[in-house]
Amino acid sequence: MAATLLAYLPKPFAVLAASSLMDTVGRRGLLLYNLPIMGACLALLSCTFTLMPANSIWRAVAAVLGTSFFSIAFSFSLGPIPNIISSELLPSDARSLGMSLSVGVQWLFSAMLVYVFPILTHKFGTQTMIAFFASMCVLAWFFTKAFVPETAGKSLEESSAMASD
């Protein structure tokens, strides 16, 4: 309980800071900056589970720090930004339906992950699953670099026009 509190205590402050940086740094910029941090935190966690004995105090410290910094980076990037960019890129006549589908699919995959993660962790090991998610952060960075446009400072019409180009 105390470790969870320590790991997630900074999250509300990160959310507030992220909301103020969203328009100045830009959505794409926040993704490109924070995805590597998320990947590094997950890689640290994977190495921690692989290399340190289960009863090591340093393993616990590394796990709390890795989780905390991951949570902060998530609050600046993959937490809010996909929904924000989705709403900005969809044309106004399809925005309502598009966002409903987008959020519905997001929740469906989140629910599937909650169900499947323990099964895969049991089969492949915690460190392997965490390393898998670290590699997904790397792929997400390349995807963002190649395909995600910057929508900060643009009107909804300008943003949705970028998506149709």
Look at the chain and report how many structural domains it folds into: 1
Q: Report pLDDT digits (tens) over 142-152.
A: 999 999 988 88
> CATH number of the domain that 73 lies in?
1.20.1250.20
**100 lies in some domain:** yes
**144 lies in some domain:** yes
**111 lies in some domain:** yes
Q: Which residues are within 8 A (CB) of 137 and not within 5 positions of it... i.e. 6 or more apart?
A: 35, 36, 38, 39, 42
**127 lies in some domain:** yes
Per DSSP, the three-state class of 150 is coil
Q: Report pLDDT digits (tens) over 13-53.
A: 888 888 888 888 899 999 999 999 999 999 999 999 899 88
When the pLDDT of each residue in the chain is averaged and rounded to a whole number, the result is 90
**1 lies in some domain:** no
**75 lies in some domain:** yes
pLDDT at residue 154, rounded to an integer? 78
Supply the range of the domain harboring residue 81: 8-164
User: Which pair of structure tokens corresponds to residue 31?
Assistant: 């993704």
Tell me the H-state helices in 79-147.
Answer: 81-89, 95-124, 126-147
**3 lies in some domain:** no
Rounded CA separation 149/162 (Å): 8
**150 lies in some domain:** yes
